[in-house]
Structures are given as structure tokens and as C-alpha cells.
Amino acid sequence: MSSRSRIGALFCVGVAVIGTMTYSQSLVDARALAVGAYAPAVRDTREFPANPAGLVQMRDWDFSVTTYTGTAPESFGFVFHALSFGKRLYEEGALAVRYAPGTEITFVVPTTLFIGEGNIPASIDREIRYREPFALGFGHRILPSLSAGFGVRYRREEVADIRYTLVIRDTIAYPSASPVTYASSAWLADLGFQWKAADRLSVSALARNLLSLRNGDTGDPLDAYLLSTSPAAELGVGYVPLTALSLFASASTRGNGALSAEWLPGMGISVRGSLFMDRNDASFMQAFSAGLGWTYEFLDIDAGYLRFFDRSSHTGTAPAASFDPAGISNLDLNPYSRDRLALSLKVIFGRVRQSLARIEEVKLFGGIYPSSYEMLAYQPIGKVRVRNISAKPIHAKASFFVDRVMDMPTESQPVYILPDQDSEIPLTAVFNEQVKRVQTLTVREGNVFVNATPAEEYDDKQQTRVLIYGKNAWNGDVNTLRYFVTPDDPAILRYSRDVLLQYRDSLSGISGMLERLTKARVLVNTFAGRLLYVGDPKQSADFVQYPSETLTTLGGDCDDMTVCFASLLSSIGVSTAFVDVLPPERPADGHIFLLFDSGVEPRYGSHVSDNPKRYVVRRNQAGVETLWLPIETTLITKGFDEAWTRGAQRYFDDVEVGLGLVKGWVRIVDVN
Amino acid sequence: MKTIVLMLILGVACGVAPAAESIIIQRADGEVSVRHGVAEVWNKVAPGDVLRPNDTMRTGKGGNVVLLVQWGTTATSKKMSLPPHVIVDMSDIRDLTQEELMLKLTMEKVRGASYQWKNDGMVIPDAAVVHGANNATAAPLSENDIQTGRLQLNGVRVLYENGFFASCVLRAMEVFRLYPALSSSFEHRLMLAEAMEKANLRGEALAEYGAVSRLEGLTSGQQVQVQGRIQTLRK
């Protein structure tokens, strides 16, 4: 053959048909394949790039793997598609990565150039390859009903071609071919949201290719085959009309979308189906899919089948003249994809049990007053609203724990909750002694756990803020003032014993029934002269000194002195009660003073006073009527008699004349 | 019980019986004295003196007092005479409402309810016996002077006769507490029962009549009288 003929043959180019070697043509998971409108349905690592916001629903470690095969005889054969790992990093956030060697499509432009004689191909096909081998996603729950996700995909585009040059050798030009690969890579970022708009309604929104960063070769021939990185938006809706049925719909600004359903008939089985639509496809009704799934505790096995309506256009090939990379927005589902069967396996590690309950809301009734911390073991400090998210009735229990000031979580009584119903469970707290060492207002993390039977683990957990007041803070409720009374405080015991010992001789001749009264008089008078009335420091909450502090500082306001004398009297076996006065027309005149049990029976009242207005006949804890003496503790500094006179006067005016006790603006709270 | 108390408090909030706003001594003859507030001394009084609601008046031998009692801003007034040998608290000269009276009586019964705080979810059993009581011999005390109690019961009768049945009931019960010996007096117990009946305390009146019928030494006439009242109340 002459050199002329060789050169002529060199430029003989014919019409070609692009053939594809499609390693991936379906969504990267069997469940995702069967639930085509997948963005609102993402809940783990399975096809998480469809909406990374769904990752927050993962329980702990999550591992999934997928394989697929074409259903046509010439494409049959299972291919490893993708492997994903995910981990819940903290309560509100999760991370996942995916390696997907199967997310790849390769187009081959067959040989159209013949060198030499006999039309023998010389392996000079052009190969166009698209891959998305890596994806990363991170989801974070912003609100209980709203989560956001950020995803990054790595895409690589390559064109492998042959470069021809004429080499002059011995005055004869010879063609020389050398393989050349042109490559470009891009990082594409997506932002997604999942919003639980109502109990049965969820909405998803995604911004695709929100950011793109491309590098690599440019120019001919690569530019002609680069895929679009223009942004697009996707919207999805999930609706649960029945407990076992979920419906999904999604649409994209690229003109495609899907309608899907997932039914859970029981026994861990899922039945799925979808319709795919794409206005860029040869047929608007693009494809349908069907799938089955089976779930057993930590294991999910899924199968999905995708079939295109217009199978003549989804052959995996296309005429070279009509091949348009702009039509490929998804390497896994595009105009060149073919019917597929996918199989997936998902395994979860760590907290593998299916949650039965979910915390809807945590509410604390107020801060913690260390003075009355013992009471909080029996009176709720808050409540948690728990929802049964399982298909069966559950017994749910709530636990509450604050680190350092509690030794272990408290647990509530179990509450029966029907499916899809919620219930409020009261929270109690057993604080340890550490809480009484809190000097100033402090904020601590409080953990609320919910556990539903028959499981052993927590179904849900939520943190809330716990306000712990300083140990001297008082909420103003006279019922809780008694917790400041510490008759068994060694300092109080020592003081009262020392005083009584000092007056031992004069006390020895006193009648048994008048003994308490006399001792109280001695105790009060001894301490009275050393005291000074001092108002509270400026605080957000009322400030009450513990009796030992009053003994040390020798000063305080009415509640400090009332508490101190209640402690002193209690320490020698005298019962006391607080009289809380809050006149409705004069709330600023609110006041507290003390009643103490003289132990004298009413029939001997004249030994206490000739005027019955100076005492109150009350039953003591044993049910015996005795005479109680009102003491105006702020006047203690003027001695027992003056404090008694003023206390009795105030009691008579407020309780007997003003009927304060009957009308409810005077309360008597027994201390011990 | 809490519900009952709450309902009564609400009822009281709707209708409040004011104490007398001013009590003026119009006439005072013989032995008449007053004790102010919680003081222990008795002071002499003269016509024109104004008493306060927390004062107590006492009449002795030949003592007679006429009081002009005024309530509220409408100056509703009433004249009231105190015969000799009575003690009357000025705070008792008022009409308590049915709710106030019932609430006061209820509080007498539920006294000690504030101990219930200990039982709000936390059951701490009390010791059956508190050891360590002082058993040293001590001089016995004498009971209150019963004469003073009689003066007070006479004052209770004045309240009854002037239609202050609620105050009469409460004061009589108080006097019986302070002077238990007087509680065996048929006349005074009967007065208490009748005051309860007139104060629309049917159940309490029945119980009191029952207690009166069990008093020792009643004559057949007294028994018939009491049983008659019981039968009438039961109809």
C-alpha cells in the first residue's frame, strides 16, 4: 500500500454509536431504588447523599453495602456498588462516608479510524468516564423537628483519547499514535433539610451543587463532555396516612421527580414501590420500581427492581450525534440507565434496638433550691412529654440526672402509652449533699432519659438546662422555709445545750408543764441581746441564712431569725410553726413570725397568761391541745416578753379579727 | 378535706363579715373595765370611750354597759347591753357568714393538717414512743380560775341573745377548752347546741344535743327537752 493510501485511510472517519459500559445506573441502595422519592425518607447511611439531613435518625454505628446487576442477559452479573459507614457523633449529629466504585458510567466511542489495510481496528477508541467514588455527609438536628445536612461529593470526569502525529522518517511521513487522558475533578456540595412539620407530615428540601470546585484539564476534547455543575433544588414530602403506610413525593428543578410508597405489613417486612418521572427523558413517565425489605433488630436486607417504561431508549447506548452530557444529572439515574436489580444489606452496631419512644418536650417547673432538695425526691421538678413511636403500646419510664449533684438518675413510675400517643411523665430528682454546697446561682446540664419496656436501654435522651440556686436562696414559699430549720446542726445543739446548762439551777424548780416555756424564754432572752436586724443582700431570690450562719453573724432579717429560733427551740424538743402573713390589700406587709408549743394544756392557761389572746390553742403533732405562743422574731432583740406581746397582738389582729386564716392570707406551717 | 377547705375559702372570698368598725360606750354603770389587745391589765372605762375590735370588756358586780356598735361605711349600728358578770371580746360582736363559721370549725377539726407535708410522697414513720421525757417530780399546776370561765360563758350568752350565733358557738367551744369543768353545765351546753342549730349547723347541733343528753345528772325534764330537739332536727 502506498503512503498516500495510508494517509487517506488515516482520515477515514465513519458514523459511530456510543456504547456504554454502565457500572451504575440505579440509586445507590435497594431501598432508595424502590423508594424513588428518597430525600424525605433518608434515615441512615443508605443513599444518604440524597439528603444528609436524614443521618440524624441513625442510632449509632451504621454500615451498609450494595450490589446490583442488570436484568438483560448481556448485562447480568452482580457488581459491587457501594459501601457506607455512619456514626452518630453526639446526640444531635451524625457523620457518614461512602465509597462507591460502582457509581460510574463509561461511554466508549468505538473505533472509526482505520490504519493500514484490511480495516483492522487499532485500539484507538475514545473513552468517556464519569465517576463519583466518594461522598461525605453530616447531619445535625437543629430543633426536635428540624434537621439539616451538609454533603460533599467527589466527581471525576475523564476522556481517554489517542493523539496522532506524523513522523517524517526517510522523507516519508508515518502516523504515530499515543494515548492521552484528559481529566477533570470536582467537589460538589449539597445542603439538605428534613422538617417534621406535623406528626404525620415531613418535608425535605435540598440545594444540589450549592458549591462546586473544579480543577484539572480544560479545553478540547474534555469540555464537550463535562457534566453540569449548575445548582438545582429539590423538594420532597413524606406523609403517613396510616401507621404502617408512608407516602413520599419529590420534585427537582431539573424537571424530574418521583412518587413512592412504603408499607410495613408487619413481621419486619417492608413493601415499596415508586414511579419516576423526567421531562428530559424520552418518556415523561420514566420508570417504576418495586422492592422488598426485611428488618430484624440490627439487620436490614433490601431488594429493589427498577424498570424503565421506554426500554428502547434505555439500552445503555446512544448515537454519538445525540449524546448529550447535559442530560446526565445523576450518575445513578439518567437517560442512559438500564433496568436494574439491586440488593443491599445494612447492619447497625452499638445501640441496635429499635426505639419505642421519643421525647417530645422537656419542661422544668423552676430552679432547684438546695435548702429543700430532699422534697424534690417526692415532688416533680418538671415533666417530659413522651411519644410512643412504635406500633404497639408501651410502658415508658423517664429518668433524670444532673452530674455531680446527683449520685444516680432517678426513675419514674412506668406510664402506659398507646401507639402514636404521647403522655407526660413527671421528673423527680434525688440530689446529694453536693447541692447544698452550691454557693451562687449555677447552671448545670440535666439529662432526661426515656426507657420503654421491654427494652433495657434508653429510647431517647435529651439534655435540658437546670438552674440551681445558691444554698441560701429561698423561693418565698413558707412551706419550704422549714427546710432551713436545722435543729440537729451541731452548732445549734451546742448553743442551746450550753445556754440551758448555764441556767440549770433556775430551771430545776420549774413545773414540768411550764418547763418548755421557761426554757424557750431563757434561750430567746440569752441570744436576743446579741442579735441585730439586718436586711437581705440584694438577690434575685429571697435569701435565708442557715441557723448556724445566724449564730455566727449575729444578724439577719425576719425569716433568718424565725428560722434560727425555730431551730433553737426545736433543738430542745419544742415544736414550732411558721405564721405566714400576706395581707391581700397590703402585699408589701408580708411577714413571717413564729409559733411555738409551750406544752401547757389549755386548762392551765392562766399560768401562761391571764389574757387568752396571748396564746393560741392548737393540737400538737400528737393530737393533744396545747397552748402555742406567737413570737415576733424581729423583736427578739427586745427580749422574749416584748417579742411575745407583739407576736400575740399580730396573731390576734390578723387571725381572729381579720380572719386571715379563714380567708387564706394567713397560713400556719408546722415545722416539726 | 383539702377540697372542702378550698371551697369554703372561695365561699368566704365572696362574702366577708366585717368586724365592728367602732364600738362606743354609751353608758357604763357599776364595775366595768376593758383590756386592750393582748395586755393583761384591766382598765376602767367611761361613757364615750371608743373600743377596738381586739379589746375585751368585763363587767363585775352591778356592772351594766350599753354599747353602740357600728359596722362598715354605711354606719349600720346596733345597741347592745352587757349585764353584770360577763366577759365579752369585741371581736365576737359580728355576724360571721356560714362559710366563715364552717371554715373555722373545719380548721379546728383538721388542725395538724400542715403536718401532712411530711406525707407528700415521703412516708417517714413517727416513733411510737418518744423516749427521754423528764420524769422529775414537779409541782402540780392549778387549773384556770373557773370564775373567769363563768364570766366568759355569761358573755357567750350575751352573744347568743343578741343573735351572734356563730361567735357564740366558737367562743363557747373555746371556753370549754380552757375550762373543761364548765362543759358539764347543762344550760351552757344546751345553749351551744341551740346556737349551732340557729347557725344552720344541723349536723353539729345534733351531735351536741347527743352529747348533752349523755351528760350526767340530767333531770327527766331536761332529757325530754333534749330528745325533743333531736327529734325535731332529725325530721
- Structural domain total, chain B: 2
A413 in B contact zone (CB under 8 Å) = no
Name chain A contacts of B100, Cβ cutoff 8 Å.
Answer: 659, 662
Pair A339, A313: CB distance under 8 Å: no
Which helix (H) or strand (E) segment is A293 a member of? strand A285-296
pLDDT along chain A (672 residues), means of 10: 40 38 55 91 91 90 92 83 91 91 79 55 69 93 91 90 76 76 90 91 93 82 81 93 90 90 90 90 87 90 91 70 74 79 90 75 85 77 88 84 87 83 88 83 85 63 76 82 86 88 78 83 82 59 83 81 88 88 80 89 90 89 86 84 92 87 86 78
Q: Of A510, A662, A669, which to mutate for an interface test with B (greatest number of B Cβ within 10 Å)?
A: A662
The percentage of residues in chain B with a pLDDT greater than 90, rounded to a whole number, is 49
Q: Environment class of residue A369 by beta-carbon count within 10 Å: exposed (0-12), middle (13-18) or buried (19+)? A: buried
Residues 6+ apart with CB under 8 A from A219: A182
Asked whether residue B176 is assigned to any structural domain, the reply reads yes
Residue A66 has a pLDDT of: 94
How far is Cα of residue A569 from the mean position of the Cα atoms in its chain? Answer: 51
Residue A293 has a pLDDT of: 95
Residue B128 has a pLDDT of: 43
Closest in A511, A606, A657 to B53, CB measured: A657
* Grid coordinates given for A384: 417530659
Contact A652 B37 (CB under 8 A): yes
Pair (B154, B224) in one structural domain: yes
Asked whether residue B216 is assigned to any structural domain, the reply reads yes
| B123-137 b/e (C-beta count within 10 Å ≥ 16 → b) | eeeeeeeeeeeeeee
Compute the mean pLDDT over every residue in chain B, rounded to the nearest whole number.
80
Pair A103, A82: CB distance under 8 Å: yes
Distance CA A598, CA A606 (A): 13
Residue B16 has a pLDDT of: 45
Pair (B227, B156) in one structural domain: yes
Pair A151, A189: CB distance under 8 Å: yes
Closest in B35, B114, B122 to A611, CB measured: B35
Which helix (H) or strand (E) segment is A20 a member of? strand A17-22
How far is Cα of residue A187 from the mean position of the Cα atoms in its chain? Answer: 31
Residues 6+ apart with CB under 8 A from A288: A273, A274, A275, A276, A306, A307, A309
* Grid coordinates given for A630: 406567737
Residue where a domain stops, chosen among B92, B113, B137: B92
Long-range CB contact pairs, A455-459, < 8 A, 24+:
A455/A353, A455/A356, A457/A351, A457/A353, A458/A399, A459/A355, A459/A356, A459/A357, A459/A358, A459/A396
Domain annotation for chain A: domains and CATH numbers: 3-349 (2.40.160.40), 357-471 (2.60.40.10), 478-670 (3.10.620)
Residue A192 has a pLDDT of: 95
Residues 6+ apart with CB under 8 A from B158: B80, B82, B83, B86, B88
Q: What is the CATH number of the domain that holds B205?
A: 1.25.40.10
Asked whether residue B128 is assigned to any structural domain, the reply reads no
Contact B144 A577 (CB under 8 A): no
Residue where a domain stops, chosen among B47, B67, B92: B92
Asked whether residue B217 is assigned to any structural domain, the reply reads yes
Q: Environment class of residue B91 by beta-carbon count within 10 Å: exposed (0-12), middle (13-18) or buried (19+)? A: buried
Pair (B88, B157) in one structural domain: no
Distance CA A658, CA A581 (A): 11
Residue B115 has pLDDT above 80, yes or no: no
Strand residues in A518-563 grouped as ranges (E) = 532-533, 542-543, 555-556
Asked whether residue B5 is assigned to any structural domain, the reply reads no
* Grid coordinates given for A419: 401507639
Distance CA A332, CA B220 (A): 111
Residue A229 has a pLDDT of: 83
Closest in A378, A621, A659 to B100, CB measured: A659
Asked whether residue B127 is assigned to any structural domain, the reply reads no
A residues 478-507 lying closer than 8 A (beta carbon) to B: 479, 482
Contact B122 A657 (CB under 8 A): no
Name chain A contacts of B140, Cβ cutoff 8 Å.
Answer: 511
Q: Convert the pLDDT of each residue in B69-96 to its tens digit.
A: 887 655 578 889 999 999 999 999 888 8
Contact A577 B114 (CB under 8 A): yes
Residue where a domain stops, chosen among B54, B74, B92: B92
In sequence order, what are the beta bridge partners of A212?
A188
Distance CA A472, CA A459 (A): 38
Residue A113 has a pLDDT of: 57
Asked whether residue B46 is assigned to any structural domain, the reply reads yes
Of A247, A220, A249, residue with least CA distance to A235: A249
Distance CA A415, CA A417 (A): 6
Asked whether residue B71 is assigned to any structural domain, the reply reads yes
A residues 600-659 lying closer than 8 A (beta carbon) to B: 602-607, 609-614, 617-621, 623, 625, 645, 648-649, 652-653, 656-659
Residue A95 has a pLDDT of: 95
Long-range CB contact pairs, A265-269, < 8 A, 24+:
A268/A294, A268/A295, A268/A296, A269/A293, A269/A294, A269/A295
Domain interval for residue B205: 147-234
